[in-house]
A and B are shown apart, each in its own frame.
Chain A
Amino acid sequence: MNSEKLTIRQMTLWFILYQLGSAFLVLPSNLASIAKQDAWISLLLVLAVQMLMIMVYAGIVKHLYGVPFEQYIQTLFGKLFGKLFLLLFTLMFPFLIMSLSLRDLGEYITTVIMPETPMEAIFVMMLGAVIYVVYCGVTTIGRAAEVLFFLVMALLVLGYLSLIPTAKVSNLLPVLEFGWKPIVHASLTTIAFPYIESVLFLYFTTQPDKWRNIVMKSSLFSGVLFMYVTLVVIAVLSQGVVSTLTFSSYFVVRTISFSDFFERFEVAVSVVWFIAIFFRLSLLMYVSVRGLAAVFQLENYRTLLIPLGLIAYVIAGVLWPNTAVLLTSYRIWPYYTMIFGIICPILIWTAGQIKRSAAS
């Protein structure tokens, strides 16, 4: 059961897919609604902040000395407080994000592909796959990531490279029309979703010395990809159009039409998204059950998969009544996640630092 080893490559690919999931489709619209045509610049800012945060996370990894994160927290804060912290952290962060991502998926499928299908049916298909794959263990997920990553990349390349001929540079001009403020503002959303969630990668510290590299590589890869997609989407559609669409990355692919032959490619984007969100959900599920299993001192985290899946299924359904509410939630979400993604890690790191200096 404990032979849960991931190679460096598997980890990197899994993290990239994790970051692509969910954010990939909504990101250009979210950015463009605030930063207009300069949305891509705010991604640079996001990556810079992400690199800083990775330094903090890597600091924590150094303190771990190969101990799993959930055990470390308990030694750091003491048994009681450590457990309380872990319980709250797990339920309010990875578990809630899991429900949110599930809902995102349902929302997307029911709005653009299958409007007459109840969202519940989509939830259960995905949850079934996620529960199964987490039950099988991390190694399985890692291998799946290795296989599917290249399919995802091939589809993305095919979809978004063929948009270049229709892209108009004039749509991206003038640069910095509204100054720096909107760019900073827009970057907040993306820092929070998906990048700050890298704190969850702390659960994967089997190779502590490689950890920083892995996370940096995956963040840079997904960041560059996001930047490219945002650039292309805005250049093809212009920012005014992009900010009115919910799923602009999907919509833009619908405009592809080469000589009546290479067209109607948009379902490929859905495939990409489905795969990416699957890896996202499985990571979140894995982290949630591991955290809770540590809190309740269970011998195996797999027992919690089914109950948590059931709860996530219901919560995903009640998160918001309609898409309009979703958009306001996106605005507020960053401030909430900053507690878990920035404040908590800094706290843990300082505590670790104090403890270490006290010990020496």
Chain B
Amino acid sequence: MNAFKRIGAVITAILIIIMFLSGCWNRRELNAISVVLAMGIDWVDNQYEITVQVSDPSQMSINRSTGQRSPAIIFSERAPTIFEAIRKITTKASRRMYLSHMRIVIIDEVVAERGIRNPLDFLFRDHEVRPDFYMAIAKGCSAKDILAFVTPMEVLPAMDLYKSLKVSEHAWAPTSAVNVVDMMQKLTKDGIDPVLTGITLIGNRKKGMKMDNVKQPASYAEYKYTGIGVLLDDRIVGWLNESKSKGYSYITNNVHNTVSHISCPNSKENFVIEVYKSKAKITPSIKNGNPFIKVELRSEANIGEYHCQADLADEQIFNQLQEAARQEQKKTLEDSIAYVQQKFGADIFGFGEYFHEKYPRQWQAWKMVWPEVFKNELKVEVIVKSELHNQYHSQAAKMKRGAARVVNMMILLLFLIGAYLQYRALLKRRAIRDIVISSCFLVVGVSLVLLKQFEVTLPSPMTGIETMFKPFETFVSKLLS
């Protein structure tokens, strides 16, 4: 019996071990793959030229020898289709390209003019590719140039490109970090056209591709994300400048934080607002058979820099500034919409989709001719209800206020517990007078805390002191200066 048990236990153990020790079916060993971080797609000699940027594994270890070898390697190959080109690269490299960690895909302007659906198809179909990479269009240079270029900040150029796009979308707004999933969605919908951010190289390109580019503080060449490219269906038709790109970001609720200057109401100087919250509400309606869109922008901003003459503390002046900021935003939005409507007729704002949602029947009639309708018949009204704040009021401050309220309640609870314990002890000693007087003070304290909780502005004792003693101060200051 015992022997059976032992044999049974051994077999079970072996089975369990086998289950865990077996290898993976479709495994890729690390030393047999090279990790592709960025891909460039160009159109050269009537075929695709695919450029991949892979990291040099020997340069990625912590104690790497700096300066001897480049941390990133470029391979490129031409073929009529993308898949072929990628596989063809193995004729040049010792390892197979592994596409799961791709961060960014740069598309040449020529490819974008021919339509980006075909190149995207491969990237969507391939099982290795994770659809979380960004896309951008190389403007005025080839995608290969951008990938071959040595970036100053990050060791891996692809990471530099990726992070910069992400950060600039969050903090600056006139760029659009387009994820490939967004792209695919917009391509398959009728009422919205996609956009892609442009990227270009400035400076001396030849020198920018050497390691020397990062060997002195001022690089020979830099990359730069420039404005938003408008696509009609899947072909690029034109570019928006900075302010119009910002208008686009406002309307599509992509402004997380941005900064813009506004001229002072009464003088030639400027002031700068930092928009930290922005929400555009879009309401479609049909007026006399024509489509009509109401864009209502509500944003909150701080004054970040102030060069005007007028006193900020004056409420009237402050209202003027707020009005100026609103007018500026309104102009930005209206200009952006009008420009896109007249010049391209590409509904990058997705107004069509709002009609699709609200008026599905009417949409069936417009669906096929939407670019024309968008261009000629659509009327847009922009209403700006932005608010300007004088002091620091950013998201962090708001969270801080929330936290303060929680802390407030906890404090009240703690103090009440403390008071209860104390009163219990006092009651035993029959110190009634102490309890009564102390609880009077406690009632005052508790009501003050509650007032604070409901954010009632309590008067400061300092204001009284200030008004009473101000004359003394001015007198003494005069006497002693």
Contact = CB atoms under 8 A, between A and B. Distances in A.
Contacts of B480: 181-182, 184-185
A314 interface: yes
A220 interface: no
B202 interface: no
A310 B450 CA distance: 11
A314 B466 contact: no
Interface in A222-241: none
A315 B470 CA distance: 22
B408 A332 contact: no
A67 interface: no
Interface in B451-481: 451-452, 457-462, 465-466, 468-470, 472-473, 476-477, 480-481
A313 interface: yes
Contacts of B445: 307-311, 313-314
A22 B319 CA distance: 38
Contacts of A120: 404, 407-408, 411
A161 B344 CA distance: 70
A116 interface: yes
Contact of B476 (A185, A306, A315): A185
B438 interface: yes
B310 interface: no
Contact of A300 (B407, B410, B431): B431
B207 interface: no
A332 B465 contact: yes
B448 A118 contact: no
Contacts of A261: none
Contacts of B472: 332, 335
B218 interface: no
Contacts of B440: 307
Interface in B248-297: none
Nearest to B429: A299
Nearest to A298: B434
B465 A310 contact: no
Chain B interface category by residue count? 35 or more
A304 B426 CA distance: 12
B415 A310 contact: yes
B302 to A, nearest CB: 13
B419 A306 contact: yes
Interface stretch (A44-52, A75-83, A252-260, A316-324): A316-324
Interface string B434-445: 110111111011
Interface string A309-344: 111011101111110010011011101100000000
A296 interface: yes
B401 A118 contact: yes
A307 B419 contact: yes
B452 A116 contact: no
A95 to B, nearest CB: 10
B21 interface: no
A310 B452 CA distance: 12
Interface string A289-309: 000000011111011101111
Given A310-B442, A310-B446, A329 B415 contact: no
- Specify the main secondary structure of chain A where it touches its partner: helix
B65 interface: no
B313 to A, nearest CB: 10
B27 interface: no
Contact of B444 (A184, A300, A307): A307
A27 interface: no
- Specify the main secondary structure of chain B where it touches its partner: helix
A181 B411 CA distance: 47
Contact of B449 (A131, A314, A319, A336): A314
A119 B404 contact: yes
Nearest to A329: B462
B26 interface: no
A96 interface: yes
A325 B460 CA distance: 11
B62 interface: no
Given A184-B480, A306-B418, A319 B426 contact: no
Interface residues of A, number: 48
Given A118-B403, A304-B438, A329-B466, A313 B422 contact: no
Given A298-B433, A306-B418, A332-B470, A319 B441 contact: no
A134 interface: no
A275 interface: no
Contacts of B396: 115-116
B400 interface: yes
A303 B473 contact: no
B93 interface: no
Contacts of A117: 400, 403
A181 B474 CA distance: 14
Given A303-B434, A311-B441, A319 B462 contact: yes
B458 A335 contact: no
Contact of A314 (B431, B458, B468, B469): B458
Contacts of B458: 314, 318
A158 interface: no
B414 interface: yes
A315 B451 CA distance: 12
A297 B459 CA distance: 30
B391 interface: yes
A347 interface: no
B407 A335 contact: no
Query: Taking each of B426, B470, B473, which has the highest tally of chain A beta carbons within 10 Å of its own beta carbon?
Result: B473
A296 B408 contact: no
18 contacts: A117-B400, A117-B403, A118-B403, A121-B403, A121-B407, A298-B438, A300-B434, A303-B431, A306-B419, A306-B438, A310-B442, A310-B445, A310-B449, A313-B449, A321-B391, A329-B462, A331-B473, A333-B465
Given A128-B414, A310-B415, 8 more contacts: A124-B414, A299-B431, A299-B433, A306-B418, A313-B449, A315-B448, A329-B466, A335-B476
Interface of B: 391, 396, 399-401, 403-404, 407-408, 410-412, 414-415, 418-419, 422, 426, 431, 433-435, 437-442, 444-446, 448-449, 451-452, 457-462, 465-466, 468-470, 472-473, 476-477, 480-481
Interface of A: 96, 115-121, 123-124, 128, 131, 181-182, 184-185, 188, 296-300, 302-304, 306-311, 313-315, 317-322, 325, 328-329, 331-333, 335-336
